[in-house]
Amino acid sequence: MMGRFPSLPSAAFIVILLGMARFGHAEVAYHVFAGSSVGASDNPTSQPDATAHSAAGFVTAQGRLELGHIGRLTQEQIAYAIMATSWTGNTQSSVLAQTLSLSSDIEASPAARITLRGSAALMQLSMLDATSTTNPQTVGPRPAGDQKFLSLSADEAFSWQLGGSWSIAQSLDGGMYRPLGSDQGSGSNKSLILGAAISHLWQRDSGGLRGRLGAIATNNTQAGQLTTAGQPTTAGQATTAARDGQFAQLESTWRHEWTAELTHELAAGVLFLRTDHVHVFPTESAAILWRRVGREVGLRAEQSVGDSIYVATVYQRSLVGLNIALPLDRYELLQFLAAADLESDSASALANGAGGTAKVFATHLGLRWMPGHLFTYGLDYTFRDQRASAVSSAVGASPFASFRRQLVVFTVEAQYPARF
């Protein structure tokens, strides 16, 4: 599944519809996916450490429909996915997750490309790792609990090649996260991030500048919560003060191709982070990637700014991550996938005087078996351990929570027509 739902939906929809209405060469294709999975978790509803919870199993039924259109200069796709989940051995009710996504790739000129993507999702936080339409390795801090939510987002990207050696790229990402349910009060989290980059390509090297401007805001009003002092609040009282934050990041980059399979990238720069006042930090990152047909190993480390629409804050992030994809047989029908990320997050004093830190370890192990072109079998294990520090301020609340969760899922999926 692709993309995010537009924060500015009209532009994406208009471009997609115009592309679909284009005369001349065109090709329309569709794909239908259907499947089921069984799984278990030791913390089904992602409850905080202080809350009692017990293991439970679940069964899902899921389906996805993709419709694509390929024109002379455009390519569009619309996709809808639904997954129903029934839990066993737990008082948790049944869950229904739905996702709608749109995308449009436009060839504005022989050297310029425009991409528009959008999606809307209606699901629960505890099902993020078990939903096939969501990346199971969502890095970064996440709220505890089993909150139902609606998320909308949109991505726009533009790339332009100049004379074969220079390239310019620009992106704009917007998102909205809204908890649902009367016990959660009302409000939503919003984010907007603008990115730009310019680079020059030599025979085996490329270098340039890249930057980001971003902002996150929340206006939540919650009921029945506890303050950081441990006192209950009055229903309807605003307990989550503004966590509005903005950041600006500028980096120089260098990428070197050692061989056709091995590359590395280095970046360094400066970060301006504004919450209660402006903080200035250095940023740096290093990544190495080995890639061969059917095989990939990547290692990265960085110190930069993080942003989470779920916890509605921007924060300093130190991260080390490893990704592996390897075939286990000579015909590449059985594939092993692994990802592990360890990060330390620090929210500088927010506008309400609260801050806090969190350490997150998340890992994902998976097997994919495709004995033919019709069926796919998958076995996945995910583990998340999120440890948040206590907040010393008696005003406001920390954006981070502490919880631990393991999840095992076995999935069978069929598609029609088969993809070769």
Tell me how many domains the chain contains.
1
Measured distance CA(90)–CA(244) in Å, rounded? 37
- The pair of structure tokens assigned to 175 is 């998102």
Of 13-22, 179-188, 359-368, minimum mean pLDDT range: 13-22
pLDDT at 182: 56
The pTM score is 0.80
- Cross-strand bridge partners of residue 245: 216
Residue at 3 is within a domain: no
Render pLDDT for 125-146 as a digit per residue (tens, 0 to 9). Answer: 877 777 654 454 356 788 888 8
CB of 342 closer than 8 Å to CB of 140: no
Q: Is the residue at 317 inside a domain?
A: yes
> Residue 66: what pLDDT?
95
Domain that holds residue 203: 9-416
Q: How many residues make up the chain in this entry?
A: 420
Q: How many CB atoms lie within 10 A of CB 275?
A: 22
Q: How confident is the model at residue 10, as a pLDDT? A: 38
What is the CATH number for 280? 2.40.170
Residue 391 lies in a domain: yes
Amino acid at 350: L
In a domain, residue 339? The reply is yes
Burial of 195: CB neighbours in 10 Å, binned 0-12, 13-18, 19+: middle
Higher-scoring residue by pLDDT: 223, 275? 275
Please count the other Cβ atoms lying within 10 Å of the Cβ belonging to residue 181. 9
For 251, the 3-state DSSP assignment is: strand
